[in-house]
Amino acid sequence: MNVKKNVLEWGRRTYVMGVLNLTPDSFSGDGILRDRNPIKYALEKAEQFFEDGTDILDIGAESSRPGSKPISAAVELERLLPILKALKQQNVRGIISIDTYKAEVARQCLENGADWINDIWGLKKDANLASVISQYDAPVILMHNLSKTSAVESNKRLGASYQGADYSNFMEVIINDLLKSVSLALRAGISEENIILDPGIGFGKTVEQNLALINRLDEIKALGYPILIGPSRKSFLGRILDLPVEERLEGTAASIAVGIARGADIVRVHDVKYMARIVKVTDALTRQS
């Protein structure tokens, strides 16, 4: 997979994706729009992320936290484009990924220098998204997601979480659903080498199902595509540790280490500095050959 000057060699090492939230209501409490000067803050945070070991910057302007309300493409672009343009003007290093499921948002961001699209709905929310991605020959992350906005559990201390969906056969359903997303991508002309799969940790899955998903990641890896996982600060860790979102560093680290051992190629994280160190050590242990 070639992305401008960035060449990712799958299997050689694990790549780190840092999360840049351009939202006022991020579940992890790190929404950049809370700052008085969001563009300046975003540039500084992005630069720090890359210094700390980020390979890919994932920028999202619509919250996917349990209980969040959708926003229009116009509002999403109003948040995204000024910061995307500022990042490109600063010639920021690394890959820029846009976390969106809307075709028009993807089109304008790819037109303004974004490299990847990260779709939490696996091309199933907007029928035009796949063709836009194909047109720009961009890589896409296809996530499994059966979460429902109406199926949310609230906990004052631990925060909200999506209720688990009804699975007849847990791994079989996830694999088949991911393959449907792959089929949508291929039919639209997206090349196989531009497809990355995300099993959707935390989206429509119980604590036990999230644990099983990480432990059985090798079954998804067998499909032949690079795998991204995003357990960072998720509610299932809060339930296990009985800790609020800001105290889930160690739980995130453990999940990432096991995920890499089971075949993850990219880890999507909030705490880049510490997780990049976890990745390096885990790679040294698991990729010795």
Residue 278: give its domain's CATH number.
3.20.20.20
Show the tokens assigned to 228.
């991204």
The mean-pLDDT minimum among 58-67, 96-105, 168-177, 234-243 falls in 58-67
1 lies in some domain: no
Q: Which residue has the higher pLDDT, 2 or 191?
A: 191
Task: Answer yes or no: are the C-beta atoms of 134 and 112 closer than 8 Å.
Answer: no
pLDDT at 4: 46
Provide φ and ψ at 127, rounded to 5°: -65, -20
pLDDT in tens, 227-261: 999 999 999 999 999 999 999 999 999 999 999 99
2 lies in some domain: no
- Which is catalytic among the residues 268, 273, 280, 287? 268
Task: Answer yes or no: are the C-beta atoms of 223 and 175 closer than 8 Å.
Answer: yes
pLDDT at 149: 64
Q: Is 268 a catalytic residue?
A: yes
Residue 250's domain comprises 7-286
Instruction: State the Cα angle at 28 between 87 and 105, rounded to 5°.
Output: 45
Q: Is 234 a catalytic residue?
A: yes
Residue 34 has pLDDT above 80, yes or no: no
Per the structure, the count of domains in the chain is 1
Nearest to 82 by CA among 112, 56, 117: 112
- Which is catalytic among the residues 65, 205, 233, 234? 234
- Long-range (24+ apart) CB contacts under 8 A made by 107-112 are 107/132, 107/135, 107/136, 108/77, 108/81, 109/77, 109/80, 109/81, 109/84, 110/136, 110/138, 111/136, 112/81, 112/84, 112/85, 112/88
CA distance 168 to 250: 32
200 lies in some domain: yes
pLDDT in tens, 190-218: 999 999 999 999 998 999 999 999 999 99
